[in-house]
Amino acid sequence: MARENAFPLIAIPLLFGVIVSLFPSVASITGVCYGMIGDNLPSKSDVVHQYQSYGILAMRIYKPDGDTFNALKGTDIDVMVGVPNEELTLYANDASAAASWVQNNILAYDGVSFKYIAVGNEVSGDDANNILPAMSKIWDAICSAGRQDRIMVSTAVRFDVLNNTYPPSNSVFSAPFMGPIVQFLNNTGNPLFANIYPYFAYVGNQGDIPLDYALFTATGTVVSDGQFQYQNLFSAMVDSMYSALEKAGGNNVPVVVSETGWPSYGGVGATVQNAQTYNQNLIRFLNYGTPRVPAYMEGYIFAMFNENQKPGDEVERNFGLFNPNQSPVYPIYFN
């Protein structure tokens, strides 16, 4: 990833006193996903001010939003913007439509620090066949505009694109659409965006997954995987992605965690205390990376606000770091 050469190689002393020199890495930035599925959320410009006042350096939004982009102009906030799933068929089949999307939503907003374009979020089923052609047409448009050194293009996948994730080194992509996507990402120097939720893994398998392993609070190794020792589930899940990437020819492809988080209410393990513990530890943890890739990594916490109109289980509406009136659900520090 030539564009990351500006960041110095770093070395981190591990527990055993070994010094490991690291990959070129992305900067250690914790972003926050700005979901807007609520009827009581603050104005876009108030939200941007809130990111700034909390020192939140990156924002993910799920589709282009002019008011938000205008509020972001002139700030240093890095932006990941989504191409909505329902538009992928169009761009997959029409390069000029993809170029117009880039023109109208990226190039038209001078002064916004666009960093990532997520072409689709958790796309599954037959629609997944549109990911690669849409992504490559959006990427071509970014390259034609000469922005390929500043803006990366990928898609955000669910953890269940993987199979055999225990232990992490066994992991493979089971979703057949992933192979060609990984080739594309490897060859173009783009990362993979992965939504990684230890919370849902824990809820689905409480018999095998201790809560402290999911919350980054285990005091020793919980899972041993050859040379790699895991003390937290987040790292094990990220390394499952890396292990599958490697097997699919993606040795060069970094993982950017495009969503992670813990709900504060509404289901098993969903308490204010657990949510605070998870998210605060995550912010710290992203500085060190995982056993397999012990380098700074980038992640986006889901989500900025509790969103009262999100469908689904009660927990879905309670992932926010903040209430809609902008008060914190619990104290959280970004640096």
Ligand X SMILES: *[C@@H]1O[C@H](CO)[C@@H](O)[C@H](O)[C@H]1NC(C)=O
Length of the chain: 335
Q: Based on CB atoms, which residue is closest to ligand X, 89 or 164?
A: 164
Q: Using CB under 6 A, pick the residue from 40, 103, 187, 224 that binds ligand X.
A: 187
122 classed as catalytic: yes
* Site mask for ligand X (CB under 6 A), range 268-297, x = bound: ------------------------------
Q: Using CB under 6 A, pick the residue from 163, 206, 273, 287 that binds ligand X.
A: 163
* HSE of 195, CA atoms in CB hemisphere, 13 A: 19
- Cα-Cα-Cα-Cα dihedral of 299, 274, 316, 171, to 10°? 50
Cβ at position 267, least distance to ligand X in Å: 26
Helices in the chain by DSSP H: which ranges? 44-53, 66-72, 88-93, 95-102, 131-144, 178-188, 198-204, 211-214, 233-247, 272-285
Cβ at position 187, least distance to ligand X in Å: 6
With contacts defined by CB under 6 A, name the span among 46-54, 110-118, 179-187, 223-231 that binds ligand X: 179-187
With contacts defined by CB under 6 A, name the span among 116-124, 141-149, 180-188, 292-300 that binds ligand X: 180-188
Q: Based on CB atoms, which residue is closest to ligand X, 89 or 252?
A: 252
Residue 76, judged by CB atoms within 10 A of its CB (0-12, 13-18, 19+), counts as exposed
Catalytic-labelled residue, pool 259, 307, 314, 316: 259
**Both structure tokens of 289:** 């990376």
Q: How far apart, in whole angstroms, are the C-alpha atoms of residue 128 and residue 277?
A: 35
Q: Please give the residue whose beta carbon sits closest to ligand X in the complex.
A: 249
Q: Return the HEC string of 161-212.
A: HEECCCCHHHCEECCCCHHHHHHHHHHHCCCEEEECCHHHHHHHCCCCCCHH
Q: How far apart, in whole angstroms, are the C-alpha atoms of residue 64 and residue 37?
A: 14
Q: Is 164 an interacting residue with respect to ligand X (CB under 6 A)?
A: yes
Q: Which residues pair with 58 in a beta bridge?
A: 31, 78
Q: How far apart, in whole angstroms, are the C-alpha atoms of residue 252 and residue 74?
A: 32
Q: Based on CB atoms, which residue is closest to ligand X, 49 or 247?
A: 247
Q: Which residues pair with 59 in a beta bridge?
A: 32, 79
Catalytic-labelled residue, pool 122, 298, 314, 316: 122
259 classed as catalytic: yes
Residue that the structure tokens 């002064």 belong to:
111
C-alpha closest to that of 260 among 196, 204, 307:
196
Q: Using CB under 6 A, pick the residue from 100, 186, 281, 308 that binds ligand X.
A: 186
Q: Based on CB atoms, which residue is closest to ligand X, 171 or 279?
A: 171
Q: Based on CB atoms, which residue is closest to ligand X, 161 or 303?
A: 161
Q: Using CB under 6 A, pick the residue from 40, 43, 144, 174 that binds ligand X.
A: 174
Q: Based on CB atoms, which residue is closest to ligand X, 45 or 174?
A: 174
237-256 residues near ligand X, rule: CB under 6 A: 249, 252
Interacting residues toward ligand X by CB under 6 A:
163-164, 174, 183, 186-187, 249, 252
**Could you give the residue numbers annotated as active site?**
122, 259
